[in-house]
Structure formats: C-alpha cells, structure tokens
Structure 1
C-alpha cells in the first residue's frame, strides 16, 4: 500500500495526528482490527481475521471507501489499481473536494480469452513466472519509440498467450484508420511493453512483467491525467478502444479514468 493511501486510511480511522505518518504502525493496525470488528466486516463473507495485518489494513481501507460512497472494487484485502484509485478519491473527499464517480454506465468489456485478474497469484497461474513465455511478433505497422521518435520498431516482445490477440487488435486499427491517421492520432507512439518491474508507487509486479501490457503516447496520456486532459479520452479514439475491448483487453483510462496510455490483458 502506498504511503499516501496509508495516510488516507489513518485519517479515515480518525487516529491522533501523531500517528498519521503514512506508516502501518502498531496503532494503525490495531485501529484497523477494531474498525473491522465494529463496522460489518463480517458481511464480506471472508475470514479476514486469519489474514496478515497488512491485508487487513487494505480491507479496512476498501470498506472505508465503500462507506464514503467510493467504489474500491471487490473488498478482498488485495491492493490493486482500482483500490489505489478509490484511495485517491477518498483522500480528495477528506480534503473537501467533490469527486464524481467515473463512468457509472461503463460496462466491463467481454473476456473471450479468459484473461485473469490483475493479481500476482492469478497472473502467475495463467501466464507463468514473470518474464517467461515471451515471443517476438511482427507488428502490422511500425511504431515510433515515444522517448526517441526518430527510432521505429517493426517487432515487439509479448507473452505467447496474447500474441495473436495483440496482432489482431493492431491490424484492425490499421485497417480502420489507415496509416496516415494512425500517425496523426499518435497511435504509433510506443511507450513500452515487456518490462520486469514493480508497479509505479507500489511493491507488487506490474503487468508489464509478463509482457501483457502496453503503453501508447505517454506524453499526451500521462499517468494521473483524467479524461479532461488525456487525448485517448476523445471521441476519435473510440474505435481504438473498441478493438482492444472486443478482445478483452482492459484500459485503465476507460475503467478508472487515469493512466490512459496503458492497456493490459488482465482484468481489474
């Protein structure tokens, strides 16, 4: 759990200011247990008492979000993108800002390939160990490196289980837009694929570690930008997202309204 999220949790628990420090200290963990016992954690239907203290703390934060009217996803004690976004929303509410729910009408994309949830246990079970199962595929159109637009690549690495799907998406994009429009819309600006690393601001592995996540045009779709700033939120990109979502790929932008550059073959 990120330091900022721990501070949000500590404030939700109404801890003494001396203990609001972004650390899962003894006082915070004890307050989590007490809060869970007093606020209907039994209704989650899970045996949370047997969980490690850190997972109990995440569950506590998720339920605090729910209580404040913010959707953290499934209350399961696991830290992930949806919980992280909900924590940011709760923090904004604590500061007196009104945060609108993002796309209440947004429907979860189909999942024809049965991509797993974005959790390490599920990802390992489905894709294997991080960095395994990688193959090189030829791209339907050249991609310019976002950090060096004078360099183009004609192939990339990805996990073998997503290779055919990835190629299908990009082929459909090229057929629909044509290469000139692909360049004009910056759909050929490649921000990266396989990268064995932790999630930004977290300790768990990024989906990039399995070669199942890709970033596009990061300069115009920055991590914390919402739909008011991100170019990929505009109407001309609707078909781009339709191609991905028909194959079950998930956009953090479309689903959570941040990190619009990112798409992954893992469910939120």
Structure 2
C-alpha cells in the first residue's frame, strides 16, 4: 500500500484534506492520528508501538474498514485481506466490478469424503450461526510450524477453526508431512499460513465467506492469488496434487479444483 493510496483512502472517508502527493507530511499524520482515535477498538494493539510505516498502513486499513471493505484486523501489515479490500475499493471508485466468478469446473477432481460436508447454501444448518463461538472452538495442532503470510517472522504451532473441523484439519497437515517431509513442505511453501476464521463476506462476492464459519484455510496467498488461474498459481502445479488429494480425502474442497481460481483456499463446503 503506497502513501498516495493511504492519502486517497483517508480523504475518501473524510479524515484528510491535503494533496494526494505521496508525501506523508503533517496533514497526513494528523489524519493517521484521527484514524487511530476513531477506529482504535479495531486495531490489533496499540499503534503507538508501531513503526511509522505500520501506522500509515494501519490508517489505510482503518479507512477501508470505515468504508465497508473489510480488510480484517487492523494490524499495519498488508496481507491478502488488505490487498483484496484495496482492490474492492479501487474497483468501486472506478465504477467496475470486483466480483470473482465461482462457477463449478466441469470434470474437476473430487473425493466421496467431500459429501460428508454441506453445500455452501446449507452451511448455517450444518455449522450453526456464522461467527458463533463454535466457529473458533476447534484447535488445530500443527504437525509442523507455519509462518504467518503477512509477517513471516512470526510462526504458529496451532490455529483455531470450527469445532467440527479440528480433527480433519489436524490430520491433513499430519498426512502432508508424512508424504512430503519437512524439507519439501518448506520448499513448496505449504508452511505459509494465510488464515482460517475471519468473519467477512467472500472476496469479490456479497454472501458470507466460508471463513466466517471457521470452515476454510488459506495457504501462501502471495503465490496463489484470488483471481489467478492454474496458469499462474503455484499450487496448481503437479507436485501439489498429493496435497490436494489429502485435503479431499479428509472432506475438504480445494477452490482451484472447484472453481479454477483462488488456489490458496480450501474449504469444508461444496459449491
């Protein structure tokens, strides 16, 4: 996120009245302080402890939040949720659609175990209300440490998911390690965690995301971006087929197989 983007966002929400010049001067910093004051409860922690760059990005995230574009928790780091929120805002300003087509791919790979889980339209019946306590009650104990996609200095050994999915998700990563080994897990970047529970709408859509139920996982979003097809996405390569077979054998639906895009993403719901 460039300073000029941040200035435009702050101006759009009414917190900044200076020039869009890419120079973070006194007026920009006054707007940053206003963002922190008005959106303070949405910040991950106290921005007073952040670097200047993180404070600027945090202010841009605060403006996106105020404008209804759902960048996620305001943390001052430009991850894929912030990038997609920025795309939605830019598209709206230009008067064009940011929608992502999610039509089923004919003849795509599947597994009978996927039938254990609901279709997207029936998720509330199966999982309960989106955003409820059950959506983060499950704990996935990882077979190998993962790095956070938007802050690779941070590692995790566990993450939260829907209570019904703790076991299948734990088994997916355990079996992936058994198949590939630690060195190939790292080489293939299957250890880059992009998130699970996130109460928001689908990116490029109007209905709730499967992430809002804690029923989806993203991996290595930088190399498998939402709108990329198999011609560009890292996870569409043949060496990832065993991983996707493991996912499907435990009931997960890979987005890349189901609708041909968003290769970072797999979910426990069919189209």
Q: Which residue of 1 aligns with 2:101?
A: 84
Q: Once the two structures are superposed, what CA deviation does each residue of 1:59-108 show, in whole Å capped at 9, x if it has no partner?
A: xxxxxxxxxxxxxxxxxxxxxxxx9334xxxxxxxxxxxxxx95x43243
Q: Which residue of 2 aligns with 1:197?
A: 200
- CA RMSD in angstroms comes to 2.0
Indicate if the aligned counterparts of 1:110 and 1:247 stay in contact, CA closer than 8 A: no
Of the candidates 82, 105, 108, which is equivalent to residue 107 of structure 2? 105
Indicate if the aligned counterparts of 1:199 and 1:205 stay in contact, CA closer than 8 A: yes
Q: Which residue of 2 aligns with 1:125?
A: 125
In the TM superposition, 1:91-170 aligns within 5 A as 102=105, 104-111=106-113, 114-119=116-121, 122-132=122-132, 133=134, 134-170=137-173
Indicate if the aligned counterparts of 1:159 and 1:210 stay in contact, CA closer than 8 A: yes
- The 1:125–1:105 alpha-carbon spacing in structure 2 relative to 1, beyond 3 Å, is closer
Structure 1 gaps of 5+ residues are 1-82, 87-100
- The 1:235–1:154 alpha-carbon spacing in structure 2 relative to 1, beyond 3 Å, is same
**What is the total number of aligned residue pairs between the two structures?**
170
Indicate if the aligned counterparts of 1:195 and 1:209 stay in contact, CA closer than 8 A: yes
How many Å separate the matches in 2 of 1:234 and 1:145?
22
Counterpart check, 1:180 vs 2:197: no
Indicate if the aligned counterparts of 1:113 and 1:247 stay in contact, CA closer than 8 A: no
Displacement of 1:221 in angstroms is: 0.4
Displacement of 1:139 in angstroms is: 1.2
Counterpart check, 1:265 vs 2:268: yes
How many Å separate the matches in 2 of 1:157 and 1:116?
20
Q: TM-score, normalised by structure 1?
A: 0.60
Q: TM-score, normalised by structure 2?
A: 0.59
SS at match of 1:85: coil
Displacement of 1:204 in angstroms is: 1.1
How many Å separate the matches in 2 of 1:129 and 1:85?
23
